[in-house]
């Protein structure tokens, strides 16, 4: 939660005690330069030993609670019928309101199952915005992803509280153009990862549900960041300001025919699940789960993670847990904007995002400015973020780049892991980088996989700008930094 100080400032304060710590190290700039060169200027290919502050992702990097860790000690390792599963099933019923639930080893595994069940060649899947693995699974199944976000969604400097809303007028046009029978389902992502972790409102979700129901179209919610989306609804939607996080989550779930999530985010566990009250969907899930994941009571997860997920589902509706990441992200974004850094506003869930096209206006999209910014920031800070732009898009059928709607450097803020001092440090190094941005150039691929290239592709800096940047940094800060 955030508190008001006597000097008028508001700061996030941790509503937990730190009892176990993990040592980290700030490698000198020469080591960082060597590490990013060895990693092909792809921050995914850096080693942990070379990273000071890891802001690559909040997926599987969050701090678990004492109760979650304790629950893992009493897990039931039975291959079939394990009692740990029934604890998860109880939590899903109590918190989300669904009778049927299957675990999966992570969110993209759930997307694979949904693609098998719902998506057919020629069908369309409208959504408030795609995620990389979501789009890959649905398109490989022969479907077409339609992004029907609102006009404000791509405005990086905005005061719109719900840039993750789905445009209802565009939804109506999709139904008219393709026919309701060809709409596999409508997907709402909480919160929208690729456009800055922006939430949707409860009012918008209810309107989506109403329109979908009128045409017999299922509503599916990606609930990976449902706790944070509910927190934003409480903070930003006047009708819900007096509601608890638990009540908001429950009301959101009433609008869905099926939900899925990556447990690595809101529940702080490595795993995932799909839940529904529809017996027909349940039967189809049961048929495919053993083929791709495992038996229905473990679904590719360890029983220890299933126990911890059950606890995490209940804990995520605690206000102090739901607010922990968004409040620190807000502090981080404010720290950036106060220094003139073009961060995405309003602050969202998941991460602080920097608009790379504004930060590096001299680097064209064909030279991947978001990837260049992520690499440059690592060189000058030891902080690892990631690219969310054209590198995160796959090439078209003719081998041409598909330019992303936005070029963002994403700096994830894992829950209950870092402090305000870490955020201030990264913002300070971004300010130095902004003042020396002319030293940063573009990138080009020299190793490129055909799908999801951002994970393992390797790039090189045009005109060897990385070494020039490192030299300028050493001149100002010395070898020790």
Of 149, 281, 454, 473, the catalytic one is 454
Given the residues 54, 222, 327, 394, select the one marked as catalytic.
222
Q: Name the catalytic one among 10, 25, 66, 79.
A: 79
Kind plus residue range of the DSSP H or E element containing 101: strand 100-104
Spell out a b/e string for 180-202, using b for 16 or more CB atoms within 10 Å of the CB, else e.
eebbbbbbbbbbbbbbbbbbbbb
Structure tokens at 281: 């969907």
Structure tokens given for 197: 């972790």
Name the residue among 132, 65, 140 with its Cα closest to residue 324.
65
Provide CB contacts within 8 A for 213, sequence distance 6+: 219
Q: Residue 82: phi, psi to the nearest 5?
A: -60, 140
- Which member of 163, 388, 429, 453 is catalytic? 388
- Is 98 part of the annotated catalytic residue set? no
Alpha carbon 160 to its chain centroid, in Å, reads 20
Instruction: Give the span between the Cα atoms of 224 and 314, in whole angstroms.
Output: 14
Q: Is 9 a catalytic residue?
A: no
Radius of gyration of the chain (CA): 22
Active site residue 85: no
Known catalytic residue at 131: yes
Give me the torsion for CA of 87, 91, 93, 97, rounded to 10°. -170
Catalytic residue check, 10? no
Q: Which of 57, 132, 267, 297 is catalytic?
A: 132
Active-site residue among 85, 98, 131, 200? 131
Q: d(Cα 461, Cα 445) in Å, to the nearest integer?
A: 9
Residue 359 is a catalytic residue: no
String of DSSP letters for 190-250:
SSBGGGTSB---HHHHHHHHHHHHHTT--EEEE-TTHHHHHHHHHHH-GGGTTS-HHHHHH
**Annotation says 476 is catalytic:** no
Out of 163, 187, 265, 304, the active site residue is 265
- Could you tell me the sign of the dihedral formed by the alpha carbons of 124, 128, 129, 134, in that order? negative
Cα–Cα distance between 261 and 182 in angstroms, integer? 24
* Joined tokens for residue 95: 């918190």
The two beta strands, 10-12 and 2-4, are: antiparallel
Catalytic site residues?
Answer: 79, 131-132, 222, 265, 388, 454
């Amino acid at each position: 939660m955030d508190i008001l100080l006597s000097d008028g400032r508001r700061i996030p304060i941790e509503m937990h005690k730190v009892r176990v710590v993990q040592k980290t190290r700030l490698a000198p700039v020469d080591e960082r330069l060597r590490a990013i060169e060895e990693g092909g200027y792809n921050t995914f290919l850096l080693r942990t030993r070379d990273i000071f502050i890891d802001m690559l992702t909040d997926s599987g990097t969050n701090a678990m609670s004492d109760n979650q860790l304790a629950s893992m000690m009493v897990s039931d390792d039975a291959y079939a019928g394990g009692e740990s599963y029934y604890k998860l099933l109880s939590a899903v019923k109590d918190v989300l309101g669904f009778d049927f639930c299957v675990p999966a080893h992570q969110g993209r595994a759930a997307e694979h199952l949904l693609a098998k069940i719902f998506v057919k060649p020629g069908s369309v899947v409208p959504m408030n915005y795609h995620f990389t693995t979501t789009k890959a699974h649905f398109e490989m199944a022969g479907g077409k992803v339609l992004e029907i976000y609102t006009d404000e969604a791509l405005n990086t400097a905005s005061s719109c509280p719900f840039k993750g809303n789905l445009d209802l007028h565009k939804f109506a046009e999709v139904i008219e153009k393709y026919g309701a029978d060809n709409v596999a389902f409508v997907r709402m992502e909480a919160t929208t990862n690729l456009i800055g972790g922006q939430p949707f409102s409860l009012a918008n979700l209810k309107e989506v549900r109403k329109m979908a129901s009128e045409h017999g179209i299922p509503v599916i919610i990606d609930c990976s960041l449902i706790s944070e989306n509910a927190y934003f609804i409480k903070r930003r939607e006047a009708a819900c300001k007096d509601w608890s996080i638990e009540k908001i989550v429950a009301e959101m779930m009433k609008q869905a025919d099926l939900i899925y999530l990556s447990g690595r985010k809101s529940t702080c566990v490595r795993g995932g699940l799909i839940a529904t009250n529809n017996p027909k969907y349940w039967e189809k899930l049961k048929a495919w789960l053993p083929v791709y994941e495992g038996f229905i009571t473990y679904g590719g997860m360890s029983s220890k993670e299933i126990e911890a997920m059950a606890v995490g589902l209940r804990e995520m509706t605690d206000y102090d847990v739901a607010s922990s990441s968004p409040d620190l992200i807000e502090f981080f974004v404010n720290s950036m904007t106060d220094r003139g850094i073009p961060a995405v506003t309003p602050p969202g869930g998941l991460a602080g995002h920097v608009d790379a096209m504004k930060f590096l206006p001299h680097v064209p999209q064909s030279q991947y400015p978001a990837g260049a910014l992520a690499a440059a920031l690592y060189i000058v800070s030891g902080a690892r973020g990631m690219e969310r732009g054209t590198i995160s898009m796959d090439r078209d059928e003719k081998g041409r780049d598909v330019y992303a709607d936005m070029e963002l450097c994403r700096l994830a803020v894992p829950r209950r892991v870092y402090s305000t001092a870490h955020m201030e440090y990264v913002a300070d190094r971004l300010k130095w980088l902004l003042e020396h941005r002319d030293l940063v150039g573009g990138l080009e691929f020299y190793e490129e996989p055909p799908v999801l290239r951002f994970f393992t592709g390797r790039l090189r800096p045009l005109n060897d700008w990385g070494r020039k940047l490192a030299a300028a940094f050493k001149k100002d800060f010395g070898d020790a930094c």
